[in-house]
Each structure stands twice: as structure tokens, then as C-alpha cells.
Amino acid sequence: MRTTSVGVFRIATTGPGDVSGLMDLIVSGAIDPNSILAILGKTEGNGGVNDFTREYAVAALCTALAPKLGLSAPDVEQRIAFVMSGGTEGVLSPHITVFTRSEAERPAGLSGKRLSIGMAHTRDFLPEELGRAAQIAETAKAVQTAMADAGINDPADVHFVQIKCPLLTSERVAAANARGNTTATTSAYSSMAYSRGASALGVAVALGEIGSDLGDEDVLRRYDLFSKVASTSSGIELMHNVVIVLGNSGASVSACVIGHAVMEDAIDASAVLSALNSVGLGAAPQTTAGRTLVNIFAKAEASPDGTVRGFRHTMLEDTDISATRHARAAVGGLIAGLAGTGAIYVSGGAEHQGPAGGGPVAAIARLSD
């Protein structure tokens, strides 16, 4: 039976254009550039429409990796899945997480399911399809393709599905209008939420968390419909969805395992502890021997009803700071406190990703065995 080894490397960056940490690991032989499948990053922009740190980080990585891979920079971008989540508010610390995958023999004595990764992408969307049923359905198909790629059959083994999805710009709205179509919204900022929401619903459909009979009108309205493992980020630099499935698989011989929990609201410390516990870790300073935290992946959002456990929050009414920045800062502060580090992946905009106001939280630990 074919088995794969999946590696995970968290690398701090000094700026969106900093590729030195990854290059060092390649030069030292710790990372084989040909094995890189995906790079998830937190960059220090505003996480909004005009956050160019995401695009800049991808450009810098592609330029740096191109000679290592014998490819042009654009071809590197086609080969590796780059998901840059903008916004390192509060204690969050800019970094990238590099996922590698290669064929490997199963070591004697290694048993159980280990971290696995799989990828797929949808076709390009029209602007008028974003945030609507078409995006849901195409995403669901891509999730199933990515699960197969990861060697995962049981949806219960899927612990995090990261999706990168498009947003609307003035130009894209105009293009749709020119075709006689309207878009889900005319606001670029709002379109990010629509695209994230429809993509998350696609994950939920694929994993059987909800039924598949969804319409345009369910997006950003039926908040009782959600995925417990979806994490979606929108960016200006693409028109299709990129899907990355993370889970545990018997076909993987990785040194890592992944688990998850669901934050019921933005202050759900218990869920963060559950996610740590699910991979054998406790709260910082960690006392568990033999296991090391690699990274935490979580989504954050301002609860749409304007309250957290009965108390009013002001994130949605703040015209100076976008709600996604507020939410990342707050949830990032909580998770960093429990994890003992701000170098974690907390991404904003959790529409249909976990219950309203909450979101999924996944943890990856490295086993010393």
C-alpha cells in the first residue's frame, strides 16, 4: 500500500516579502522544495480588500522557489497552493506554515492514523456566481476530490478544510453588470463575506454536515447551516476556489496528528482546550511530554447578533476598524494565551464556519515517537 509522509514547518517571517526562513530550510536539506504542497501564511496586512501583503508574500515565495523547482514564478503559483490570510492584529505573529508531502515507507511499529493533506480546486467563477449556489456546489465537488487526494474516506477524519476564494472588485461588479447580471453585493468588503460563506457551505455539503439543497438566499442568512471544519479566506488574486483538506489517514506516516473542536462563541476557551487535548496537548505552559504544538488553525468572527454571551459587542458598528480585524485580535488573544504563542493561524470571517459568532479550531501536534 502506498503511504505518504506529510511534513509541517512553521516559519516566522520578518515581513510579507521575507522568504529567508524557508530558503534556509531548503538549503539545509530540511525541506525538499519538490515536496512542498501548500503554504498557509499569516501576513501583516489589514486582511481586507486592499491587503496587498497576501499577494506580495505569494509573489516573493514564487520568485524565490522558482529556481529551486526549475519553474517560472507563475508555474510555481500553479503548482503549490498558497493561502495567505491577512491580518496579524494584537499578539498574532506573521509566519508561514509549509506543508510537504512525499511517498514514504511505513516505519516498523508505526500505527494509527496520521496527518494527511489533499488538494483540489474549482473552475474559475464569474463575479455573479460568487456567494451563491454555484460557488457552493463547485466547492463541494472540489472538497471530495481533495479528500480522495488526501487518502481520507471518512468525513470524521477531516479536521480542517482550508479554502482560498475570490472577492468582488469594482471592476468585477462592472463586468457582471455589463453582462446584464447583478452580483450578490456591490461592496468589495461585503463580497469577501459572501464568498467565504458560500465556500464554507460547500464544505458542509461535501462532508454531509448539512443537506445539499441550498439556494442563493441561504448564504449569510441561514447561520444555523455551517461546517465545523471549514476555514475560508477571500483574496483579490484569484477567481477560483483552492481547497486544502487536512485530516488523519491510515495511509500517512507523518510525525504529526491533527484534531479539532468548535468554538461556540468568540470567548470559548473550553473549545480551544479541547482542540489541544484532541492531539494530546494541554494549555501553556504545556506539561504533556512527547508532543509538541506545531500550529493552531482557527477562524474568528464577530457574532452577527451583536452579542457574546448576552453582552453587547461593538465590532459590527465600528466604522474605523473592520469587524474581521476586531475578531482576529480578540480570538487570537485567547488562543495565543492558551497555546502560549502568537504564531498561530487565526483567520477572520467565519461565516458558516462553525456556529454564528464561533468557529472551528484545529491543532497539529508533532509526536516524538
- Contacting a copy of itself within 296-325 (CB under 8 A): 304-306, 308-309, 311-322, 325
Least Å distance, CB 307 to a copy of itself, is 8
Handedness of CA 247, 327, 239, 97 (dihedral sign): negative
Task: Give min distance, CB of 315 to a copy of itself, in A.
Answer: 7
Return the C-alpha cell found at 164: 482560498
Q: How far is the CB of 85 from a copy of itself (least distance, A)?
A: 14
Cell of residue 256, nine digits: 504529526
d(CA 233, CA 351): 10
Answer whether 176's CB lies under 8 Å from 183's CB: yes
Between CA 215 and CA 76 the distance in angstroms is 36
* Exposure on the CB side of residue 273, measured as CA atoms within 13 A: 8
**Is 350 near a copy of itself (CB under 8 A)?**
no
Position among 71, 134, 174, 239 found at the interface with a copy of itself (CB under 8 A): 174
Nearest by Cα to 155 from 119, 113, 206 = 206
Nearer to a copy of itself, 209 or 264 (CB): 264
CB closer to a copy of itself, 16 vs 247: 16
In the list 50, 72, 78, 102, the residue contacting a copy of itself (rule: CB under 8 A) is 50
Which residue in 9, 31, 51, 137 binds a copy of itself (CB under 8 A)?
Answer: 51
* Alpha carbon distance 237, 240 (integer Å): 10
**Sole binder of a copy of itself in the list 3, 5, 8, 44 (CB under 8 A):** 44
DSSP, residue by residue, 106-171: PPTT--S-EEEEEEEEEEEPPGGGTTSHHHHHHHHHHHHHHHHHHT---GGGEEEEEEEE----HH
Q: How many CA atoms lie within 13 A of 204 on its CB side?
A: 29
User: Which of 107-115, 198-206, 208-216, 340-348 is the region at the interface with a copy of itself (rule: CB under 8 A)?
Assistant: 340-348
Tell me the C-alpha distance between 293 and 119, whole Å.
24
Which is catalytic among the residues 85, 199, 233, 234? 233
Quick one: 8 or 334, whose CB is closer to a copy of itself? 334
Q: Of residues 275, 329, 356, 363, which one binds a copy of itself by CB under 8 A?
A: 329
Give me the least distance between CB of 327 and a copy of itself, in Å please. Answer: 7
Q: Is 333 in the site for a copy of itself (CB under 8 A)?
A: yes
Task: Please give the sequence-ordered ranges of beta strands (E in DSSP) within the chain, or none if there are none.
Answer: 3-12, 36-43, 81-86, 95-104, 114-124, 158-165, 230-234, 240-249, 256-263, 291-300, 307-308, 311-312, 345-348, 359-367
Cα 11 to Cα 165: distance, rounded to the nearest angstrom: 24
| Residue ranges in 272-301 that form contacts with a copy of itself under rule CB under 8 A | 272, 283-285
Cell numbers standing for residue 310: 448576552
Measure Cα distances from 34 to 5, 68, 76, 103, 240 in Å: 13, 8, 10, 12, 24
* Contact region with a copy of itself (CB under 8 A), list: 164-172, 248-256, 274-282, 291-299: 164-172
Question: To the nearest whole angstrom, how small is the minimum distance from the Cβ of residue 319 to a copy of itself?
Answer: 2
Q: Give catalytic status of residue 68 as yes or no.
A: no
Binding to a copy of itself (CB under 8 A) within 87-146 occurs at 88-95
Strands 230-234, 158-165: pairing is: parallel
223 sits near a copy of itself (criterion: CB under 8 A): no
Stretch that binds a copy of itself, among 128-136, 147-155, 326-334, 361-369 (CB under 8 A): 326-334
Residues 15-34 that bind a copy of itself (CB under 8 A): 15-17
In whole angstroms, the minimum distance from the beta carbon of 260 to a copy of itself comes to 18
Sign of CA dihedral 203, 205, 206, 209: positive
Joined grid coordinates for residue 148: 480522495
Residue from 14, 28, 111, 368 touching a copy of itself (CB under 8 A): that is: 14
Among 151, 332, 355, 358, binds a copy of itself (CB under 8 A): 332
Query: From the CB of 138, what's the least distance to a copy of itself, in Å?
Result: 25
Give the shortest CB-279-to-a copy of itself separation in angstroms: 19
- Residue 164 bears catalytic tag: yes
Which residues carry out catalysis? 164, 233
